[in-house]
Each structure stands twice: as structure tokens, then as C-alpha cells.
Amino acid sequence: MPKAYWIAHVTVTDPDPYALYAKGATEVFAAHGARVLARGGRIEALEGDSRPRNVVIEFDSMDAALACYHSPEYQAARAHRIGAGDAQIMILEGSD
């Protein structure tokens, strides 16, 4: 079963509520067995639109990643992010 990757591209516009989101989401990711591979490091935008904050999180499967996203705990954390920034979030299934 291929792994899955939660990929987020974010522009934070209100740091205080976004910090609450980041703390809560980090706890949820850990509870779901996720591994943060990249978060907020240096980027070099080569083509297309870019955002200053980028995150890649690995899950054991697509089902595990989707279960995390749809969990009540993640949705509670997500409520802090709404209005605190502009985000593009996707879950990508890896190759075998």
C-alpha cells in the first residue's frame, strides 16, 4: 500500500490564531502516526505561484491521511486557521 503525503502551501495573514492551529494540528498529526518531512524551511520557487510556508507530512496510506483531515480533532484545529491565512492543501498518494 503506498504512503500518502499531505502537502500544504500557506500564506499566514494573522499569526496568533495560526499559531493555535499549528499547535493543535501538530498534536493531531502525531496522534495519527504522521511524520513531518518538511515544515516552513527555505524554499526556492522555480515556476508558478509560491507561498512562504510549505509543509509536507507523510502518512502510512491515503486512508490514514484522509482520516486525519476529517477527524474532529483536526477540524477543531482547522477552525483557528480559517481567516488566519490563505492555504492550499492536498493529499497525494505516493508511488509504490
Fold of 4-43+52-93: Alpha-Beta Plaits (3.30.70)
- Number of C-beta neighbours around residue 66 at 10 A: 14
Using CA atoms, how far residue 56 sits from 14, 53, 67, in Å, is 21, 10, 17
**What is the helix (H) or strand (E) element at residue 81, kind and residue range?**
helix 72-81
Q: What is the pLDDT of residue 66?
A: 98
| The 4-12 sheet, strands edge to edge | 35-39, 53-59, 4-12, 85-93
Q: Assess whether pLDDT exceeds 90 at residue 4.
A: yes
pLDDT value for 40: 84
Domain map of the chain by residue range?
Answer: 4-43+52-93
Residue-wise pLDDT for 6-55, tens only, equals 999 999 999 999 999 999 999 999 999 999 999 988 999 999 989 999 99
